[in-house]
Structure 1
Amino acid sequence: MSGMEAEKAEAAAWFRALRDRIVAAFEGLEDSHDAGPFADEPAGRFEVSRTHRRGEAGEDAGGGLMSVMRGGRVFEKVGVNVSTVHGTLNPRAQAAMAARRGLPGIADDPRFWASGVSLVAHMRNPHVPAVHMNTRMFWTPGAWWFGGGSDLNPCIEYAEDTAHFHAVQKAHLDPHGAGEYPRLKAWADEYFFIPHRNRARGVGGIFMDDRCTGDWRADFALTRDIGEAFLPAFVPLVERRRVQPFTDADRDAQLIHRGIYAEYNLVYDRGTKFGLETGHDPDAVLMSLPPLAKWV
């Protein structure tokens, strides 16, 4: 196995292991919720199905696992997807990626390989923030790069929750250089902004794309720490807020906020566009959409 093939396999295995830990942690939150709203209902469980990508000629081009939980005690809908896919970029995706990245090889050779884990959680209690996280590796014959991040999307904001979420991320990024957290935080603030609403999607987090310093091992380590920061940044917020009572007005605010979230994912999100343009399972790509939303 060549060096890059071994690195691809290592990255794909780590993304799968992260997926497994998150699924177990989220089911654990369902089991431990024994007080407050919805505590007397059955604990939720993930339904797991395989996803498949078909290439331009209909050939098998990889796939993964789509894990979705609906109607739990804590999670109204949460999806945790992992996939490893390969094939050739269609001309539209190839041109778009070549223009944006400016990396060698994409314009001349459409072959690609990609692996990653992605999750979006929409919560039952409006006091518990929605959240998004993904990490990924992408390869073409001329280059490889990493991307990912996580961001918090509360409909009812608590300053202490925002501070905790960012502090955990900073602690995980600081070993990679004092400038990494501020840079990735600013990138998230820019990326998760909704121009037609003139507002941010949530309270931010961290985000990076096209990470290719030439040191694969260092870039992969940073990507892993973005993923490792997720559970300690998010789970304590769930445990803190899931027991709080809420009103009909709180639920209304949650549904309106979900509408704004859906607008962003359908209009601006790069991952959504890439998944649909490259033939991945549309149910897996659109897993991020909330089960219920409202527009005023």
Structure 2
Amino acid sequence: MTAHFDTEKATAAAWFRRLRDDIVAAFEGLEDSHDTGPLSDQAPGRFDVSETKRQSDDGSDAGGGLMSVMRGGRVFEKVGVNISTVFGTLGERAQAAMMARKGLSGMKEDPRFWASGISLVAHMQNPHVPAVHMNTRMFWTPHAWWFGGGSDLNPCIEYDEDTAHFHATQKQHLDPHGAAHYPRLKEWADEYFFVPHRGRARGVGGIFMDDHCTQDWQADLSLTQDIGRAFLPAYVPLVEKRRVQEWSDADKEAQLVHRGLYAEYNLVYDRGTKFGLETGHDANAVLMSLPPLAKWI
């Protein structure tokens, strides 16, 4: 299975890189636009790009990626678009979690893994522009492979028409793969992005899947690609519409409090954060999702 999947791994990793490049270009284009609202007199933001490294327990190279972060832009207060391709052996806790979740046997005898993906989180200057999260990924072990990912909208000031557009665009991209996908992935997102100790969702939902494997690798990759392709048309029109709005001190207060909810979820519940920290990936890249400022009341 290892040799058979070398081509598939390379294909998936290259796709995540292309998606990253498209999103970075689109976001810098938003920064360059003239109608950027209350902060239009600032210089346009740009991404700072740095390499990330993962080291195995014995100190050997175990892959890495690119961390692209923009801070203090006219539109984006902080946004990160990270890609990584990492490999090595899973520790005992990760093995146990994977065996419990997927029912895999043989993990202890051969705990190798390979994973590649893109992860994006955007926190905005204007409280009327929603924060957003997106990721897609492929995971491989000698025992199984699968895809995961999705995107969800996290406004602090909700607009029903924005929520409707975001969801309709996701559905439009999923429907060619089967009408059952959108309602299933929407329900999954509603459950996954729920914050139990607050008794509420962290946003207005989106789509999410994990452990997706139909045994048709090309079909599963195609579905994952369309989840990624849906992101820019689902999100950019919302940024273009809301970035010109004036905001009040009360609006900014609501944004900071909502960011506290976002931080709580990512630090306590998010599976990707836990996996990244437990498997030795660059901590700055893993914690890129945290907002630049937040507030608790």
SS in 2 for 1:293: coil
Aligned to 1:18: 19
Aligned to 1:211: 212
SS in 1 for 2:274: helix
In structure 1, distance between residues paired with 2:40 and 2:211? 43
Aligned to 1:255: 256
Q: C-alpha root-mean-square deviation of aligned residues, in Å?
A: 1.0
Aligned to 1:64: 65
SS in 1 for 2:287: helix
Q: What are the Cα deviations for residues 206-235 of structure 1, in whole angstroms up to 9, with x where unaligned?
A: 000000111101111000000000000000
Aligned to 1:28: 29
Aligned to 1:283: 284
Q: Tell me if structure 2 keeps the 8 A contact 1:117–1:134.
A: yes
Task: Tell me if 1:166 matches 2:167.
Answer: yes
SS in 2 for 1:127: coil
Number of equivalences: 296
Task: Tell me if 1:42 matches 2:6.
Answer: no
In structure 2, distance between residues paired with 1:3 and 1:89? 21
- Which portions of structure 1, spanning 4 or more consecutive aligned residues, are displaced by more than 6 angstroms? none
Deviates more, 1:249-258 or 1:88-97: 88-97
1:191-270 → structure 2 map (5 Å cutoff) = 191-270=192-271
Q: What are the Cα deviations for residues 235-281 of structure 1, in whole angstroms up to 9, with x where unaligned?
A: 00000000000000000000000000000000000000000000000
Deviation, structure 1 residue 103: 3.1
Letter paired with 1:286: L
In structure 2, distance between residues paired with 1:50 and 1:213? 33
* TM superposition score normalised by structure 1: 0.98
In structure 2, distance between residues paired with 1:60 and 1:39? 44
In structure 2, distance between residues paired with 1:197 and 1:126? 21
In structure 1, distance between residues paired with 2:187 and 2:171? 12
Give the 3 Å change call, closer, same or farther, for CA 160–28 of structure 1 in structure 2.
Answer: same
Letter paired with 1:197: R
Q: Tell me if structure 2 keeps the 8 A contact 1:127–1:246.
A: yes
Give the 3 Å change call, closer, same or farther, for CA 52–35 of structure 1 in structure 2.
Answer: closer
Deviation, structure 1 residue 98: 1.1
Deviates more, 1:101-110 or 1:189-198: 101-110
Letter paired with 2:116: S
SS in 1 for 2:97: helix
Letter paired with 1:43: P
In structure 1, distance between residues paired with 2:6 and 2:32? 39
Letter paired with 2:289: S
Structure 2 unaligned residues grouped into runs of 5+: none
In structure 2, distance between residues paired with 1:284 and 1:239? 27
